[in-house]
A and B are shown apart, each in its own frame.
Chain A
Amino acid sequence: MSEEKPLFNVYEVFVQKDHGSPHVWVGSVDAGSPDDALLMARENFLRRETAVSIWVVRQQDVHRTDYEDRDFFARESDKQYRMLSGYNKSNAEKWRKYKKSLLDLEKDFVKD
């Protein structure tokens, strides 16, 4: 084995496709330096796709949750009250009652 030899560092790679999108993790590369990691990332992940930015982060600098720590992600309660789906169905039912008057109003106010 090669214990005494220097080893490449692993860099995690994040690519931002355009200014409107977040950086998204795409994979990792081996490199000696951050500059090399950016080049390797471009060659490995952007041979076709375009992008506006790449981040590389040394794998050892990434702090992470443990996959086995299910408690960290526990959902003790129903989260419907935070979601669209918690409201839109009952709202739609109610709006149906007002449909006719709504249409009449639109007729009066929306002229195009």
Chain B
Amino acid sequence: MTEAERHAAFMARIERGEKIEASDWMPAEYRITLVKFMQMHALSEIMGALPEKEWVPRAPTLARKLSLMAKVQDEMGHGQLILRVAEDLAAPLGKTREDLVEELFTGVAKFHNVFHMPAPTWADCGIIGWLVDGAAVVSQAALLDSSYGPYARVLQRVCAEEGFHIQHGESICLALAEGTPAQRQMLQEALNRWWEALLLFFGPAETNSASATILLKYRFRTKTNEDLRQKFFTKYVPRIWSLGLTLPDPDFRWDEAQGRWIYTAPDWSKLKEIARNQGPLSQYRLGLRRMSYEQARWVREALLGKVVA
């Protein structure tokens, strides 16, 4: 088969809804774009554990500490599982797991914009678990039918565990919402702080970046950023209101005629700053990650010393 015939056969498989496996022939742009996407997802799971890890020593009760530790552990576990899948696809490109992990430090690989934000109070921990993980499940559930089989399979486990994270976050937020006026205020302030980040989470409405186009073309993803953001609003905004909380956006409303939520656009330029690792806590969190990567180097070397040839 010529290259063009192979490509046509591959597209026909995609259009039939078939799943692609690691060992299958695939166009270079599919492989490269997927490796980049999964690498970012894996690194974001790991970086996403950091804002919450900051709260493990300060959790208000032992029960909260246990539940937060379990969540942090899950996020690191998800990072491991997704890296494993990314690694298989990256091998023919001459890239190892170490390369995928270390590209975070050189800025070649990014981590999700939402994890560049500060989490100054305990209520931030609740909002992260409930709404940031809620947003993550909305976007990941949309990938469960992804054209890349190994990723779709690993996401089943990830999404199931994220379901636990949302319950954990809801539990924190419900306790604060039913608490003292000071606790309610802390919750409202955390929501105000995270609202813009939650809008930025899904990315700009116009997804015409080269990689977004490739991901849609090959049915790695099928929903646009705006589809996902609207879905998130439909699921979570009524719940936010039902707790008596308000959104820090006076123009936010459901438009019956258009059948969609109207919201004040966030400052999209912030995404560009974050992509350059110039977000509020980008450098601080990268520093933490670098430190833990270096401190655990001896462990990796000890484990590598045992490699069975």
A→B interface (CB under 8 Å): 1-2, 5-10, 26-34, 36, 40, 43-45, 47-48, 58, 66-68
Contact = CB atoms under 8 A, between A and B. Distances in A.
Consensus secondary structure, chain B interface: helix
Interface residues of B, number: 29
A1 B94 CA distance: 7
B183 to A, nearest CB: 30
Of the listed residues B70, B81, B95, the one surrounded by the most CB atoms of chain A closer than 10 A to its CB is: B81
B307 A67 contact: no
B95 A32 contact: no
Contacts of A43: 77
Interface in B275-309: 303-308
Of the listed residues A5, A8, A45, the one surrounded by the most CB atoms of chain B closer than 10 A to its CB is: A8
Contact of B80 (A10, A26, A44, A68): A44
Q: Closest 9 CB pairs between A and B?
A: A32-B306, A33-B306, A32-B303, A32-B307, A6-B307, A6-B304, A2-B96, A1-B94, A44-B77
B308 A9 contact: yes
B308 A34 contact: yes
A29 B303 CA distance: 13
Given A27-B153, A29-B84, 9 more contacts: A2-B98, A6-B305, A7-B307, A9-B307, A33-B308, A36-B306, A40-B80, A44-B80, A44-B81
A29 B77 CA distance: 11
B23 A8 contact: no
A45 B88 CA distance: 19
B31 interface: no
A58 B87 CA distance: 16
Of the listed residues B74, B95, B303, the one surrounded by the most CB atoms of chain A closer than 10 A to its CB is: B303
Interface of B: 21, 23-24, 70, 73-74, 77, 80-81, 84, 87-88, 94-99, 153-154, 157, 161, 164, 303-308
A2 B80 CA distance: 19
Contacts of A28: 84
A32 B97 CA distance: 14
A30 B99 contact: no
23 contacts: A1-B94, A5-B304, A6-B307, A7-B97, A9-B307, A29-B84, A30-B84, A30-B87, A32-B304, A32-B306, A32-B307, A33-B303, A36-B306, A43-B77, A44-B81, A45-B157, A47-B70, A47-B77, A48-B161, A48-B164, A58-B308, A66-B23, A68-B24
Given A10-B84, A27-B157, A44-B77, A32 B308 contact: yes
B76 to A, nearest CB: 9
Contacts of B306: 32-33, 36
